[in-house]
Amino acid sequence: MKTIITSISILTLLFTTALVVGDDDRYKKEKHDEKSFFSRLFEKDLDVAPVKNTVYKEECGSCHFAYQPGLLPARSWKKIMGNLENHFDENAELDKEVQTELTNYLVANAADHANYKRSRRIMRSLSKGSTPLRVTETPYFIRKHDEIPSRLVKDNPELGSFSKCAACHGNAEKGSYDEDDVRIPGVGKWDD
Ligand code: HEC
Ligand code: HEC
């Protein structure tokens, strides 16, 4: 009987916490950004938080993979979002309103505001003064990929660049970059 009562009070506590955690101002506007307490617990197993913002997915995922906010610090996202008309030789300009909304989303979920494993490691790898404009230029990324020869990437006619995360990482969309899930296009499973 005692264990039943204890279990019930633990459950009640969990649900109350879930309600409190779910009531985060930041997530109020974007319903789809809301997470239950349990999915937050589960997501801690992932490398970075997956993208839930549909506007972001549409606008910033049309030319390339929609990079998760947790892959770069807030200062990088601010710089990228402040210069969209000159975005890696392309014009990626947005309406002022959408630009502000997406900047807020990126900053709120940036690597320095996230508790996910890879976000923390990316932050640790950066020197204080540096503001990388590419995920692929962060010391953590470079260290993790330096054993992959360029004939499999840049000189690989089926790939061409490290920026295409999802081409090699089958679960990148879900925020998972486990090296066991890597398949290099035209080459196959990665085995080091
Ligand atoms: C018109 C096409 C286009 C749109 C729209 C676009 N980008 Fe890009 N983006 C590019 C190109 C081209 C590159 C360089 C890719 C390469 O070098 O392979 C790039 C690169 C990037 C990179 C660096 C990737 C790396 O190498 O680590 C980031 C970060 C990025 N974009 C963020 C965004 C964000 C945020 C948005 C939405 C506001 C966005 N992009 C919208 C074309 C676009
Ligand atoms: C050419 C295919 C390829 C591309 C493109 C690629 N990766 Fe990787 N990535 C790998 C391989 C292979 C490993 C494992 C390397 C090793 O362990 O030696 C890896 C490892 C990682 C790791 C560490 C995982 C672990 O288990 O330690 C992270 C995080 C990661 N990649 C993120 C990214 C991100 C973010 C992008 C896009 C900006 C990206 N990768 C693009 C092939 C790729």
Single pTM value for the model: 0.84
Residue 67 has pLDDT above 60, yes or no: yes
- 168 residue type, one letter: C
What residues make up the domain containing 162? 37-185
User: Can you give the pLDDT at residue 27?
Assistant: 41
Which tokens in the block code for residue 123? 């932050």
Ligand nearest to the CA of 159: 2
**Is 28 contained in some domain?**
no
d(CA 140, CA 143): 5
127 lies in a domain? Answer: yes
Cβ-contact 188, 160 below 8 angstroms: no
What pLDDT, in 10s, does the model give residues 28-63? Answer: 333 444 556 666 566 556 899 999 999 999 999 999
- Is residue 3 assigned to a domain? no
In this predicted structure, what is the pLDDT of residue 136? 98
CA-nearest residue, atom 22 of ligand 1? 134
Q: Do the beta carbons of residue 70 and residue 109 sit within 8 Å?
A: yes
Is the residue at 90 inside a domain?
yes
With beta carbons less than 8 A apart as the criterion, state whether 86 and 122 touch. no
Terminal CA-CA length for the chain:
54
Which residue bears the tokens 């976000």? 119
Residue 148 makes CB contacts below 8 A (sequence gap 6+) with 184, 190
Does 130 map to a domain? yes
> Within 13 Å of residue 12, how many CA atoms lie on the same side as its CB?
6
**Section 14-41 average pLDDT:** 49
How many domains is the chain built from?
A: 1
What pLDDT, on a 0 to 100 scale, did the predictor assign at position 4? Answer: 60
pLDDT, the chain, mean: 86
Asked, for residue 14, whether it belongs to a domain, the answer is no
User: What does 154-178 look like in DSSP terms, one character per residue?
Assistant: TT-TT---TT-HHHHBTTGGGT---
Question: Which residues does ligand 1 sit against, CB inside 6 Å?
Answer: 59-60, 62-64, 67, 80, 84, 87-88, 90, 92, 102, 134-136, 161, 163
Query: What pLDDT, on the 0 to 100 scale, is given for residue 46?
Result: 80
In a domain, 83, yes or no: yes
Is 192 within a domain? Answer: no
